[in-house]
Structure 1
Amino acid sequence: MSKGKGRKTRKGKQTEGAAALLPPMPNPSAGSANPSASLSALWGYILPALNHIVRSPTNSTDKAPAIEPSYHIGIHTATYNYFTAQSEAANARANSRADKGPSTVWPASGADLYEHLDKYFMDLARELLLGTPEDDMALVQYIIPCFKRYSVGAHSINRLLNYVNRHYVKRAVDEDQGWLTLSDIFDTVIEEGNTREGKSLRERRVEELKKWGYEEGGLAETLVLAEQRAEAASTLDCVVPLAALALRRFRTEFIEPLLAAPKVKGKKGTPGAASVGDKSHLPKSRLAYGVRELLGVQDVSPEKCLGLARDLAATLCAVGVRYGHPLRRKLDKFLTTGTPKCL
């Protein structure tokens, strides 16, 4: 992220820097081309806005660069027209083969654009991973602003392409393709050997959301946040809203590689090897080393340590790293005790 010198407004307040004051991106001229004519045309029309929102240099981690209202409306209209054309084509195919026996299963309208967006977030997260510093102690200080910038951009894209959520994602969830499905309930009953009637989908949903910070009778915002975390924690085959889709890719392509411990090469039965249950001799993940190094240095104030630990814990939770993960438990312990020694 680029750094720029701040300047004062007429009210005398310091701005976040010239780079944070990017003008809204204008609607690109499409000429006579129809952006809803095909997926490639629609993607070519949307892509400049996506890149402007998440890739433009800015010092602000609180607000993503904007696009002009006419461009926003143009993207919504083009997406709507493309989905409508897909639905009409699917209906025409269904009518034409109504009396022709078994039919081909066609993908739901919007699935192709959804997959393009998933790949876009995947590539973006991988680019950010390539930029991680080699110094483990600087790793956490890279991750936090990096994720904040990524997150505000993802939520901006979620609003920009909300029609995808309302048309494609909602229908897929209604068809039992969301983060919590009926098969999840049946699998749990079988695994637990529970012969009595299983929990309802609603009961299971509330049970899962409590793991992500939801409390029954709590604020609506808490429920929304808990569900987004649960969606981000889902497997890649689950259909989730675009904001959660982006957070999930940040987890799978950025955070999980940093949480993966390197493989140990060696022969089994080596004399002096640790017992099977003893994992203390195994190498830790790069992020675990980064947290230990950062919180173990003497010249960092306790306030800064607490702030970094709090932000990292919030990041891991937001992208769907479950509480049972060792690093999340250690961060929680640190935030409770306020001492780096627990790490």
Structure 2
Amino acid sequence: MFTRNAQRRGLRDITNAGPSESNVAVKPLSRVPAPSDAPIDSARSEVVPHPPTTARSSTSYQHSGQVDNIDARDSQDPLCATEYVADMYEHFRSVEAQTSCRPTYMKGQTAINEKMRSILVDWLVEVHLKFKLVPETLYLTVNIIDRYLASTKVSRPKLQLVGVTSLLIASKYEEIYPPELRDLVYICDRAYSKSEILDMEETILKGLSYSITIPSAHAFLVRYLKAAHADKKMVQLSCYILDGTLQSYSLLKYLPSELAAAAVYIARRAAGRNSWSPTLLKYANYSEEDVVGVARDVMREKNSAQSDLRAVNKKYSSSRYGAVANTTLSNDF
């Protein structure tokens, strides 16, 4: 049961992130999204990709050099759309550059910077977890924020409004039960009204020309984990690594498919498997040489991340996610 009296925390101070920021007002944020004192609907339980089931031993393909047809076993499942899945991912690869941002847009912003973006995303990871939303909602939220900031100057006091409104838009697109508007007002400690959020929703959608559909890094991750014959721990570890990339502005230089491939590569090495495989080469369409440089940058960013941005580590330190945040990851590639 979530109550009004639950502990609150403030959005971390974004001072020292740039010049003339000593007078930044910190907006307090609630840890709890339910002002009605009612528990969040369990139907919103966050979806973690399950390890693919296979009638054959996955280890046989790890060492034989054969290429597995990863869709054959699902040919009778209409939800897997095996007739179209190859075309779908080919399309995703063809459009991902158009729906992604590069780490240059902050040059056009005068009141905010990449550190403030990282703080905002860290908070959104926690809010996303509290609302029990599906992973795609988080990735779409961050994408909407980046694309909007790439085209529109935003003042410092409005950055959190952009963030929470982007979460609303993404939730409406991805969720069966999106958060209620009053709950979003509450998690911002009523710093913004319902009308302000709705006005910003219209502004963002117009700014993006109502283009919301994207091939996210998580969508690619699900495909690559299937090609990797991933077990539960590898799934959780890959999700942990990929979620951690969301806070990094500099990693926007990589395409979503590249980041997903790097997450699988790092997780496989941590699990003691071959770093890459013929099946991954076929379905990811990246060689090990293509992936290793991205993986190095991902690990470099992870190791240099701000110690006060802990939402992803806290999430994946829980038993629900296998406590994979405690796994030692090597960057000796």
Larger Rg: 1
> TM-score normalised to the size of structure 2?
0.24
Instruction: Select the structure with the greater relative contact order (CA < 8 A; seq sep ≥ 6).
Output: 2
